[in-house]
Amino acid sequence: MAMRPLRNMVFSKVDGWQSNAFPAATLSTPVGMTRFPDRITPTPFQHTLRKKRGGTLLFTTKRPLLRPSILFIFLISWLLTGCAARANTENWPGLTANGSTVYVAYGPAVVAYDAVAQQSQWVFRPENRALHINAAPSVQDGRVIFGDYGAAGGMFSPTIIVTVYGLQENGTPAPTTLWTNNAAATDKVIAAPLQVGDTVYVGTADNHLSALDANTGVEKWRFGTSGPVWATPTYHEGILYITCMDKRVYALDASTGSQLWQTQLEGAISAQAIVDPAEKLVYVGAYNNALHALDMETGNERWRVEATNWIWSAPALVDGVLYFADSSAQVFAVDAASGEKLWQVAINQMNESGGVANRVEIEGAIQASPVVADGVVYIAAEGNAATEEGLLVALNAETGAEIWQRTTRAPLFTTPVIVDNMIVVAMNSELAVLAAYDRATGTPKWSYVPVWE
């Protein structure tokens, strides 16, 4: 059915970004509005837009309360069920690696898991069991810092309390809580924080970036934007580069938060900026279907490369080549200095029918960044939405030729990490939250489902 504009709604991407201005939401997410019109499910409090039948949740639209009776019925039902809170399993996990340990933020917990020993190290759950955590943890010098999606300040309170946590690993089954800060944000923390020395930088969905003391959580400064910050900031030689859903790229003094320059693009930006000191460029993928190269000192655009759809995630920069993917499952390699396209390939899934292997174009987008190592580009894709599978593919970095591919138990939205000879992915599945595959062959090595009380 045709997608109809839903007036007086508030759009949120996977319960992540909310905008009170309907035009801003449609401008920032044009592809979501026009290319995924497959299914809208109304409820008393929201419309849910899903991709294909039973597919992945893409957007929800928060509806105004229509009648007091609806609110009354909802509250009675909530009370009769014991006020139980469940994690929003529609969101995808956040994943970080440090040595042999992978850290995954999933549902109501953050888990540390030794990928080589295949052993859980610790599980952290906030006291509020209703909280949900998706931002990948930032790990440095044993400090693990992350933010949550927030919780209501009270049963009838419109206030959302969002907390940033600072933990210290100490070799015991549970890390020590160094500090918590529930004043740094009033809306969700979506991206991994960035630790630089004794400062941690946290982008928030309530339109600002906070600089906190990494040891105490005390705020040093904050910088306001005109849109949500979905991406981890990038640091280089005393300068922070911030991308924002307001379509802007900001360069800030990392010590003071003073703005050095800003550049406005034609599309919203959920991808982290990548800095190239050799070319003095900052690379940014945006929702206007393009990868932009900006001058590090001025923010002026040097060149751009057109993609076939919007770009969710950051490119990978290796040996003067940029590798990036778009939401039409296209993967690109371009020269980092000039933007010249070296190759472009479509990610297809191999299906066997009657003993014959056929390539089938996948319907799922690529929202994770490529991972490049030893001449191989690893791509995590949403895969086939009809079967709710994900797809992990290895490509030759020089030619784009496929080396191997492997279907996964759930769609892949999170950038994989490399540990030893394994490529580790995170997914939203009751069968496997973490899974590892042999980097050379794609052979499954192990899978893991966290357990908590």
What's 248's domain CATH number?
2.40.10.480
Instruction: Note whether 338 and 428 are same-domain residues.
Output: yes
pLDDT of residue 130: 77
Look over the chain and give the mean of its residue pLDDT values, rounded to a whole number: 81
Q: Is the pLDDT of residue 62 over 80?
A: no
For residue 404, how many other CB atoms are within 10 A of its CB?
17
Instruction: Note whether 346 and 446 are same-domain residues.
Output: yes
Q: Is the pLDDT of residue 3 over 90?
A: no
pLDDT of residue 158: 61
* Residue 43 within a domain: yes
Q: Which of 353-362, 367-376, 427-436 bottoms out in mean pLDDT, i.e. has the lowest?
A: 353-362
Please, which pLDDT band fits residue 170 given cuts at 50, 70 and 90? confident
Q: Which of 129-133, 310-314, 329-333, 446-450 bottoms out in mean pLDDT, i.e. has the lowest?
A: 129-133
* Residue 3 within a domain: no
CA 363, CA 381: separation in Å to the nearest integer?
10
Q: Is the pLDDT of residue 276 over 90?
A: yes
Q: Is the pLDDT of residue 350 over 50?
A: yes
* Number of domains the chain contains: 4
Provide CB contacts within 8 A for 194, sequence distance 6+: 138, 200, 201, 232, 233, 234, 235
Q: Where are the beta strands (DSSP E) in 226-362?
A: 234-236, 239-243, 248-253, 259-264, 274-276, 281-286, 290-295, 301-306, 316-318, 321-325, 330-335, 341-346, 348-353, 356-361
pLDDT of residue 365: 85
For residue 142, how many other CB atoms are within 10 A of its CB?
13
Q: Output the DSSP codes for 70-121.
A: HHHHHHHHHHHTTT-----TTS--EEEEETTEEEEEETTEEEEEETTTTEEE
Q: Mean pLDDT across the stretch 377-404?
A: 92
- The strand order across the sheet containing 330-335 reads 316-318, 321-325, 330-335, 341-346
pLDDT of residue 367: 93
* Residue 448 within a domain: yes
pLDDT of residue 157: 53
Q: Which of 298, 374, 300, 285 is nearest to 332 (CA)?
A: 285
Q: At 144, phi and psi to the nearest 5?
A: -120, 115
Percent of the chain whose predicted confidence (pLDDT) is above 90: 64
Q: Is the pLDDT of residue 79 over 80?
A: no
Instruction: Note whether 319 and 450 are same-domain residues.
Output: yes
pLDDT of residue 364: 64
Query: Which one of 306, 332, 361 terminates a domain?
Result: 306
146: CATH:
2.40.128.630
Q: Which of 26-35, 77-86, 145-154, 155-164 bottoms out in mean pLDDT, i.e. has the lowest?
A: 26-35
SS3 17: coil
pLDDT of residue 174: 85
Q: Mean pLDDT across the stretch 334-360?
A: 75
pLDDT single digits (tens) 222-234: 999 999 999 999 9
Q: Which of 343, 413, 403, 421 is nearest to 380 (CA)?
A: 413
Domain with 376, as residue range(s), is: 313-453
